[in-house]
Chains A and B, each alone.
Chain A
Amino acid sequence: MAMTRKQKRLTLIASAGAVLAIAAGLILFALSDKIVFFYTPSDITKQNIAAGSRVRIGGLVENASVVRDASMNVTFRVTDTETSLTVHYKGLLPDLFREGQGVVAEGVYQGNSDVMADTVLAKHDENYMPKDVADALKKKGVWQGGKTQ
């Protein structure tokens, strides 16, 4: 059975529409469900972030706050000099993780200024700091100058 020109065109449009609809659905769902917001420690307390939400936080690693135990659990405090959060993490920290330096952690907010992180990022080299951190520090007025990138 040969299709008419119109039928062929309709089939094409219908299949294109179906694929686009599926894709659009996936994108919208993923954007509503799978994105993570960035907060500074002060934002977390000020905005009353609910316990159990996934967050990305950034700031400086507080001096003398890093505690490691024998089974590779680490806790440290992240501060924006106003408020600070406790971050729990299991695993190896990045090469450039240091006290007093910028850090970004992603994980689940436990309430009570506690974050259970599954990812910790530090700056990549001496000239680079996560942009989120640099912006947050600039806003707080504790930016130490230097090149950001």
Chain B
Amino acid sequence: MMVELGHFALIMAFATALIQTILPMWGAIARDPGLAGMARYSAFVTFALVLIAYLALTMAYIGSDFSVVNVAMNSHSTKPLMYKISGVWSNHEGSMLLWVMILVLFAALVALRGGGMPERLLASVLSVQGAIAGAFLLFILLTSNPFLRLADVPMEGQGLNPILEDPGLAIHPPLLYLGYVGFSVAFSFAVGALVHGRIDAVWARFVRPWTLLAWIFLTLGIAMGSYWAYYELGWGGWWFWDPVENASLMPWLMGTALLHSTIVMEKRDALKVWTILLSILTFSLSLLGTFLVRSGVITSVHSFASDPARGVFILGILTLFIGGGLSLFAWRAPSLKQGGLFAPVSREGALVVNNLFLATSAVAVLVGTLYPLVLETINGSKISVGAPYFNLTTVPLFVCLLVLVPFGQSLAWKRGDLMGVGQRLLAAFGIALLAMMATFALTRGGPVAAPLGLGLGVWLIAGSATDIINRCYRRGSSLSAIFERAFGLPRSAWGTALAHAGMGITVIGISATAWGVESLAVVGKHEPLSVGPYTVSLEQAFKRKGEGFREDVAQFSVMEGASARGLIETSKRIHTGREMPTTEAGIVTYGLGQLYASVNEILPDGRVSIRFYWKPLVTLIWGGALIMALGGAISLADRRVRIALSTKTKRASSSNAEAKA
């Protein structure tokens, strides 16, 4: 009954999404406040209906209702509650439902917080959100319905794919979707502005918190996915340039550019048309990512069972929204009032450079991701574009960008003083150079790229510190005055500094991978094997039975010189039911580095074939990403950034909007 209710609610949600699309847009164009006012209510109703559908499916999972195909295929009555709840999005149908639920959640939040927005803008924004939701609801209902019943109800479900049975499943997809789908708000705002025919600093102030929110979640989602792949797949890598990873990286790159260009638009009323274009492109890349992952045109760990109808359907949605958005842009953008131009050497000039590098690296990733598909369609030849291509194209662009970041951060708005900035950054430059030289001397004969990368990371961190210090420190002022100024700094200044320093930390972590050590060997009991600064030796190898699996376990003791550093355990697991093998990597963190063990096989004579890695500073890769997201969150907490979200200042900003009009 619950399932039918959910199914019915989903159909109703499609109907209300249509209402949400048509009436408010009509109202916005015909300047009918009554119709435009429908936007908020219909957004709430659509959200409520999708929520009912989503909860109904979750209830079917929790209650192990195997008469539902989706539950029977992806759950098992003995699964822990966490995997029953997260099992909902472990498969194509359920994850599309989650996708739509997050989309309508964002629409409802915009409706809730948008009281201060011009009525016509709000109506057209929510109308576009409704159109996207409607298209995907139709997609779910026609091709990927999670509520279908089985005629012959099985006694037991088939269980979850063992790779997915991990806390990562509970966290990674929702975070990623909150990021991906969150950019739809920027898209809707852009379309709204094009329909509305007016973009100004107020528009940027409304759209900026949403972009920032989506960016924070996408950053966390990508970092989480990377760490999950690192420990779960047992290959010891944290980024594979897999098309699916690229699908999440492209909106991140474009979204980061958008984040910076909205600042220029808000502060200087410039880069307007470009910001609108970026908003459209960022969400287009999110949609493209959804298409790549969900249509089955590429095969990867992420592509679930698929049929061609789905691919064609999503391609249709993709064409409609990307094509529609860009056509509207081409038609309306020339009529928008151009923003002002500005001096090349200034904060806004530096942000343009940031945008150039980020957008071109997104294009480089896009070309590498789509080229194999295009080439196969054209002449049937099959190629693979892998790490060598992506490293060669993105690394130089990113190095140029990151070298320039501290300059941009220290430049003043309107007219920057490059000489002055250079002087202020001299100390930061010295520190970075010193760090680079010292590392170079200490690791002589090692890889050259690592000290260079480390120097770049230190440069970013020191550059951020310089910015904060310059804002707080005045010659001759007392310590308490400095602290007072530090506390008085706008949160967005701290947020920027933290996010850039976080990027520097990630860069150091990535550079340090060049110092990684890999040891491959077949070892007998107590036979020492050296891995970087550590020596490991096999203590015991045995068989063990666990809940839902049996495994071959290898335990090693770790020594650093003469001192014992504990045990590390890795196993080869066979999951009963699916009889699917997985490797459970053993990971121990020492300082900022990790020792990583991955067993291949326990031979009949008791010896073990094993792979060990020592990965110095590897935790900085994800630690830096967390700090970046934290920086974003602190910026979001800035009163000036949040102003559009705040109900208290509603009146102020709407009167501001009128004043500008």
CB <8 Å contact, A96 and B581: yes
Given A31-B371, A72-B520, A90-B520, A19 and B305 contact (CB-CB distance below 8 Å): no
What residue of chain B has the Cβ atom nearest to residue A9's Cβ? B341
Q: Digit string of A128-149 for contact with B (CB within 8 Å is 1, else 0)?
A: 1011100100000000000101
Partner of B396, one of A9, A26, A135, A149: A26
| List of B residues within 8 angstroms of A90 by Cβ | 520
A48 at the interface (CB under 8 A from B): no
B611 interface residue (CB < 8 Å to A): yes
Q: A62-99, CB under 8 A of B: which get 1 and which 0? A: 00000000111000000000000000001111011000
A27 within 8 A of B: yes
The dominant DSSP class at the B interface is mixed
In the complex, what residues of B have CB within 8 A of residue A26's CB? 364, 392-393, 396-397
Could you give, for residues 111-143 of chain A, a 1 whenever the CB lies within 8 Å of some chain B CB and a 0 otherwise? 000000000000011111011100100000000
**Shortest Cβ gap from B411 to chain A (Å):** 15
**B96-104, B378-386, B534-542, B543-551 - the one binding chain A:** B378-386
**Separation in Å of the B506 CB from the closest CB of chain A?**
22
Q: Are A34 and B385 in contact (CB under 8 A)?
A: yes
Choice from A8, A27, A93 contacting B341 with Cβ under 8 Å: A8
Contact of B383 among A11, A37, A125, A126 (CB under 8 A): A37
| B298 neighbours in A (Cβ, 8 Å) | 131
- B161 proximal to A (CB < 8 A): yes
- Cβ-defined contact, B161 with A125, below 8 A: yes
Given the interface contacts A72-B521, A149-B303, does A38 sit within 8 Å of B393 by beta carbon?
Answer: no
Are A8 and B343 also in contact (CB < 8 A) when A37-B382, A38-B384 are?
Answer: yes
Nearest residue in A to B307 (C-beta to C-beta)? Answer: A149
Taken residue by residue from 322 to 357, chain B's Cβ proximity to chain A (1 for < 8 Å, 0 otherwise) reads as 000000000000000000011110000000110011
B592 at the binding interface (Cβ < 8 Å): no
Residue from B304, B361, B382, B572 whose CB has the most chain A CB atoms within 10 Å: B382
Q: Does B299 contact A (CB under 8 A)?
A: yes
Name the B residues within 8 Å of A22 (CB-CB).
396-397
Q: Mark B347-377, 1 if CB is under 8 A from A, else 0.
A: 0000011001100110110011001100000
Which single member of A2, A5, A12, A38 contacts B382 (CB below 8 Å)?
A38
Contact size range, B: 35 or more
CA of A93 to CA of B364 in the docked complex: distance in angstroms?
A: 32
Q: How far is the CA of A106 from the CA of B388 in the complex (A)?
A: 13
Residues in B with CB closer than 8 Å to A95 are 234, 572, 581-583
Q: How far is the CA of A27 from the CA of B364 in the complex (A)?
A: 6
Per-position binary interface string of chain B over residues 37-53, scored 1 when its CB falls under 8 Å from any chain A CB and 0 otherwise? 00000000000000000
Does A20 reach chain B (CB closer than 8 Å)?
Answer: yes
Residues on B with C-beta less than 8 A from A92 are: 520, 598, 600, 609, 611
**Distance of B165 from chain A, by nearest CB (Å):** 13
Judge whether A30 and B389 touch: CB under 8 Å. Answer: yes
Residue of B305, B352, B360, B522 with most partner-chain A CB within 10 A: B360
Which residues on the B side are within 8 Å of A19 (C-beta)?
A: 353, 356-357, 360
Contact B356 A15 (CB under 8 A): yes
Contact B353 A15 (CB under 8 A): yes
What B residues does A38 contact at CB under 8 A?
A: 381-384
Q: Is A50's CB within 8 Å of the partner chain B?
A: no
Tell whether, in the assembled complex, residue A35 and residue B343 are in contact, meaning their CB atoms are under 8 Å apart.
no
Nearest CB of B to A121, in Å: 10
A131 vs B306: C-alpha distance in the bound complex, in angstroms? 13
Chain B contacts of A51 at CB under 8 A?
none
Q: How far is the CA of A20 from the CA of B353 in the complex (A)?
A: 11
Contact string against B for A residues 13-54, beta-carbon threshold 8 Å, 1 for contact and 0 otherwise: 001100110110011011100111110000000000000000
Chain A residues with Cβ under 8 A from B581's Cβ?
A: 95-96
A34-B392, A126-B580, A132-B382 are contacts. A149–B299 as well, Cβ < 8 Å? yes
Q: Which of A15, A31, A126, A132 contacts B367 (CB 8 A)?
A: A31
Does any Cβ of A come within 8 Å of B141's Cβ? Answer: no
8 Å CB contacts to A: which residues of B580-627?
A: 580-583, 598, 600, 609, 611
> B113 in the interface, Cβ–Cβ < 8 Å?
no
Min Cβ gap A91→B in Å is 6
Closest 6 CB pairs of A and B: A38-B382, A23-B360, A34-B388, A92-B600, A34-B389, A11-B344
23 A-B contacts (beta carbon < 8 Å): A12-B341, A19-B357, A20-B356, A20-B360, A22-B396, A30-B388, A31-B385, A31-B389, A34-B386, A34-B389, A35-B371, A35-B383, A35-B384, A36-B383, A37-B383, A56-B383, A72-B522, A72-B609, A95-B582, A124-B301, A125-B578, A130-B299, A147-B305
* A contacts, CB < 8 Å to B: 2-3, 5, 8-9, 11-12, 15-16, 19-20, 22-23, 26-27, 29-31, 34-38, 56, 70-72, 90-93, 95-96, 106, 124-128, 130-132, 135, 147, 149
Identify the B interface with A (CB < 8 A).
Answer: 161, 163, 234, 296, 298-301, 303-306, 341-344, 352-353, 356-357, 360-361, 363-364, 367-368, 371-372, 381-386, 388-389, 392-393, 396-397, 520-522, 572, 578, 580-583, 598, 600, 609, 611
